[in-house]
Structure 1
Amino acid sequence: MLRIAIVGCGLGGMAAAIALRRQGHEVTLIERFGDPKPLGAGLLLQPPGLAALGELGLLDEVLGAGQPILRLDGRTEKGRAVFDVAYPDLHPGAFGFGIHRGVLFDRLLEAALLEGAALVTGRMVTGHRLQDGKRVLAAEEGELGPFDLVVDASGARSVLREPGRTERAKPYPFGAVWGIMPMRRGHETVLQQRYRGAAKMIGRLPIGRGPKGEGPLAAFFWSLPIAQLQEWPETDMAAWRREVSSIWPEIEEEIGVFEKPGDLVPATYNDVVLSAPAGEGIVFLGDAAHGMSPQLGQGANLAIQDGVALAEAIAASEHVDAALRAFVRQRAGCWGFYQQMSRALTPFFQSDSSLLPPLRDAAFARLYRLPFLRRQMLLTLAGFKTGPLSHRRPEAVLKKVAEANRDVRRPEDCNQSNKLAKTVTVEHNARESAF
């Protein structure tokens, strides 16, 4: 049995806590907030992330709370299609899944505590050191430990990364404000985005129901440069709503729920690359290891997979450091690919460039019509890629999702599962007929 500290109640850290507790390890979750809470509004899970939740036994609850997403539709303010990507074009059973971040956070935290993980709140970890081959954590109110393993899941602004370990930690020049609003009928299975050049981007992601069962809901985001993001609290909301509506008239009624700047939460993003994501008795996962732009929507998806993969590596190795090396070898290709793609694509959608948007508008939809490129785009967006020339087989991952969902359900509780399968099939058939 190992004594393990997980710093940060992020999605990846809690996934690791659940899996490691089930292996019999002593796990302590350490959170700087007095009351652990999610940061953000909604998120999009991809099939590999859903499969990881299935391995944790949580897929049943998750599928009952969110919303299947079958298409990603991005258009200019004039209605020109930039991309129109359908999951079933990759595989008939493929879908993304929109969910309220608070709902997923609550499910993971509850599961970690039920498994017996200890929770220490209100403790800001500020550093770490080696002591007799174990890790001791420095905190504002005294030291914690020693631990056989420290898992840093504290996010892109982690203070536990030593300078020599950090190859890159650079903020992106654009962030966003996020909020939750009612989801109107129609487009419930579509993530929609609208663009005015690259400087203005709006998104609406259906996410099902909220933590108290309210809904149906959608997560809304509005892209902003960092300088304007800092001025957000002083925003004239009436003028802002007019600007949003001028780009996307259809959404005018829905954004009426945002009456004051505080109704939307600012978020910034960092590009984080580590030369050594693991060392003696310490490992970094989630945004602490590979922070990236949200352009491809892979942050939560990768973090949950990280947590499960770390536990699997520990179970398969006799020594902690050998397990950490195996974990990094398994995950590094996926991390690197999605970081590079996010870094390359972001300027086309979030920048002040006047040259890139016309190139984007002219090229992206045409590239999607080429069979090989269409498949690569779908594999990328659905989270299956493990490197530039490699990917997980969609059939194998989707089989895991289906099996996990079946295994955790009693026969009499299959209504939601059957409804989900029917929704995917019907909407795919409708799309096929349209073409």
Structure 2
Amino acid sequence: MKIAVSGGGIAGTAVSNLLASAGNQVTIFEQATQCQAIGAGIMLQPSGQAVLDRLGILATIARQSAKLEGIEAFLLSGRPLIELKYGHLGENHFAYGVHRGVLFQHLLNRCVQSKVDLQTSTQICDFCDDGDSVHVIDQQGTRHGPFDFLVAADGARSRLRTAAKLKSRTVDYDYAAIWATGPCSQVHHRLHQVIDGTDRLVGLLPIGNGQCSFFWGLRTDHYEELVQRGMLAWKQEVIAMCEPAAELLDSINHFQEMTFAGYRHVRMQRWHVGKVVFLGDAAHPSSPHLGQGVNLALEDAACFADALTETGTFQQAAVRYQQLRQRKVRYYQSLTRMLTPFFQSDMPLSATCRNIGLPWFPKVPWIRRRMLQTLSGLQDGWI
């Protein structure tokens, strides 16, 4: 088949690899002048690891990443809020802290090896579906095609979601985060977080080679005020909360060196229409508090590629893909939506409830197991 993929991010490159490996002719359309990943670190969970292992790149990525044994969070007072260790699921369970750029580069290299056609500086804004094939239309109004079908992997703010006129419900959160990467020698083998109420959150994620990914949560409308206060005042505030962040912050001189990103939650009833199917954040974006975005995108790519191979037709593959993925994705989206106000919101009472209840959950074995399965990306639904 001749296939168009809109978006050259993690979801787009992963599905392109799998589709091209099955003998299809794939073209990626990427709006950036250079195909590259933005952002900092991610947690590559066992669910995402399985897809990368299938692609033959997991071992190489693992050598450039940090093996994570668990996560931990503390209150500003130093009192532990939560600690989860993957080892409670078995000795072979762990995550990797990975720089997004490392993961993306290996996926892109595989695309080149698989002879995927990559067209940069081309943002797909619309499409024309005649029932037998689809043409894609870029920002200049130029038509490309025809293609047998289009994979929309153009992210949380997907233009194709609007063009497809599929019913959806969108929530833009009032909270966001600042992301950066730098040296950090004090945090190893775990995601380390410090939380103050529901308005201040700082985290350090080891990503290999003595580096950590840093994030600082804040209200979206407070970012300009933060910049006005100045870098020095902000650094002092962060270090007072999380002293291990000092080394990393030393390497940053301007706010422009960091990435500022908001959160969006979109729930779509259907992830396909006509000759178009949606994957990853284009289909189901949510806040990053469970850290599952990349893992769900990788699983989407594998599931759809398998469905296409098994059914042989796009329509059947799109239906099968949503049937197989919907329950798991709905679970993670709903859970993330429920948890977000307990960590970033304007509801102080949420912090009180969280601080009382959360430390007790891992002490109950079956609850701890469910929490770890969810963290690992292995939970398929509420039951």
Q: TM-score, normalised by structure 1?
A: 0.85
Q: Note if 1:324 corresponds to 2:324.
A: no
Report the Cα offset of residue 231 of structure 1.
4.8
Report the Cα offset of residue 253 of structure 1.
3.4
Superposition misfits of 4+ residues, deviation over 6 angstroms: none
**1:188-337 alignment runs, 5 A limit:** 188-208=188-208, 215-231=209-225, 233-337=227-331
In structure 2, distance between residues paired with 1:113 and 1:225 = 40
Report the Cα offset of residue 147 of structure 1.
1.0
In structure 2, distance between residues paired with 1:234 and 1:123 = 36
Match of 2:43 in 1: 44
Secondary structure of 2:135's match? strand
Q: Check 1:168–1:299 CA distance in 2 against 1; reply closer, same or farther (3 A cut).
A: same
State the identity %: 32
In structure 2, distance between residues paired with 1:234 and 1:43 = 29
Amino acid at match of 2:126: G
Report the Cα offset of residue 276 of structure 1.
1.1
Q: Note if 1:338 corresponds to 2:337.
A: no
Q: Note if 1:156 corresponds to 2:156.
A: yes
Secondary structure of 2:253's match? coil
In structure 1, distance between residues paired with 2:2 and 2:228 = 47
In structure 2, distance between residues paired with 1:327 and 1:272 = 18
Report the Cα offset of residue 183 of structure 1.
2.1
Q: Check 1:151–1:230 CA distance in 2 against 1; reply closer, same or farther (3 A cut).
A: farther
Match of 1:387 in 2: 381
Amino acid at match of 2:11: G
Structure 2 contact 184–247 (Cα < 8 Å) conserved = no
Match of 2:166 in 1: 165
Amino acid at match of 1:193: Q
Q: Deviations over 1:98-141 (max 9, x none)?
A: 01111111110111111010000101211112125211111123
Secondary structure of 1:355's match? helix
* Structure 1 range deviating more: 249-258 or 42-51: 249-258
Report the Cα offset of residue 63 of structure 1.
1.0
In structure 2, distance between residues paired with 1:348 and 1:281 = 40
Q: Deviations over 1:298-345 (max 9, x none)?
A: 001111111111111100012110011001111111110000010000
Report the Cα offset of residue 230 of structure 1.
4.8
In structure 2, distance between residues paired with 1:219 and 1:228 = 22
Question: Matched residue pairs, number?
Answer: 381
In structure 2, distance between residues paired with 1:241 and 1:230 = 15
Q: TM-score, normalised by structure 2?
A: 0.97
Report the Cα offset of residue 80 of structure 1.
1.1
Structure 1 contact 12–305 (Cα < 8 Å) conserved = no
Match of 1:117 in 2: 116
Q: Give the root-mean-square deviation of aligned CA atoms.
A: 1.3
Amino acid at match of 1:28: T
Amino acid at match of 2:41: G
Match of 1:145 in 2: 145
In structure 1, distance between residues paired with 2:219 and 2:100 = 24
Q: Note if 1:365 corresponds to 2:379.
A: no
Give structure 2 stretches of 5+ with no counterpart. none
In structure 1, distance between residues paired with 2:114 and 2:365 = 46
Give structure 1 stretches of 5+ with no counterpart. 209-214, 390-435
Q: Check 1:233–1:152 CA distance in 2 against 1; reply closer, same or farther (3 A cut).
A: farther
Match of 1:175 in 2: 176
Structure 1 contact 131–146 (Cα < 8 Å) conserved = no
Q: Deviations over 1:236-278 (max 9, x none)?
A: 0100011112212343333222221112110111101111101
Secondary structure of 2:59's match? helix
Structure 1 contact 234–261 (Cα < 8 Å) conserved = no
Secondary structure of 1:276's match? coil
Match of 1:424 in 2: none
Structure 1 contact 81–361 (Cα < 8 Å) conserved = no
